[in-house]
Structure 1
């Protein structure tokens, strides 16, 4: 991949592409309705997409509530993994959350997903606890991670 993908806000027309990424990435993917509902009914939801040659290749969702941000999901299509697209998405979400006044950001990640944990740690996220049996497909625990966005912004300068 010679150039970086475009990162932009998700639009309703992106849902089909998002679903392709979702089905490629997760055993229990979100539904079309779930994404439509996030876009049209959830005032706290903000989604960014990574677009490459008019194809959705990744996305990241976040809920922004007062001064807290919570990553709802992040995924990159398997054909585009290894190109730092997840990192690019997450950096853009951190920047967006900061611009909207968020001070902290949290997320859950499978305890077995060491690749994702490594990315989150690279961007300053710290382990904060365990949610037992969090994932309904196999009852795997989730590691809760968080970052102080002001500290993240300071490190990026």
Structure 2
């Protein structure tokens, strides 16, 4: 990962940057700035942002309900992809789950997103199901992936 990039906890100050990156990365499915503000204020949510200078170049977030962790979204700016940033942010979510006593961490990923699937598999996530027509623009199935051993 680029040493100029810093991983930080999501605060309200980073919500506009996260929303901008989300709009670029997932047009038509992006969260609003208000949604990121809500997540930053919600005790059961945990988000990290990757910051380069003043710019948000990545974010990853999850919600925890009792001992269950659910990744809500992950995005990396195109200029920062394939440099370990996604791995570092995902690692921060896994660490948070381990420290907070979660028994598993799960996510959905577009079936066509081979780079993301490869990353998740390399970090111990296994496919456990499919959500038919989960995504829009374009409509596509999601693969449900879960990491059950959070000690790795």
TM-score range, shorter chain: over 0.9
Tell me the equivalent position of 2:39.
Answer: 38
Question: Which 10-residue stretch deviates more, 103-112 or 27-36?
Answer: 27-36
Counterpart of 1:120 in structure 2 is: 120
TM-score, length-scaled by structure 2: 0.93
Q: What is the rounded CA distance, in whole Å, between the counterparts of 2:89 and 2:38 in structure 1? A: 21
Contact 1:129 1:144 in 2 (8 A): yes
Separation in structure 2 between the aligned mates of residue 122 and residue 141 of structure 1, nearest angstrom: 21
Please state whether the residue corresponding to 2:134 is helix, strand or coil.
coil
Higher strand share: 2
- CA RMSD in angstroms comes to 1.5
Where 1:146 maps in the other structure, the secondary structure is: strand
Q: What's 2:47 paired with?
A: 47
| Partners of 2:68 and 2:6 in 1: CA distance | 26
Gaps spanning 5+ residues in structure 2: where?
Answer: none
TM-score, structure 1 as length reference: 0.90
Contact 2:2 2:83 in 1 (8 A): no
| Structure 1 gap ranges (5+) | none
Q: 1:137: Cα distance to partner?
A: 2.3
Query: Which residue number in structure 1 is paired with residue 71 of structure 2?
Result: 71
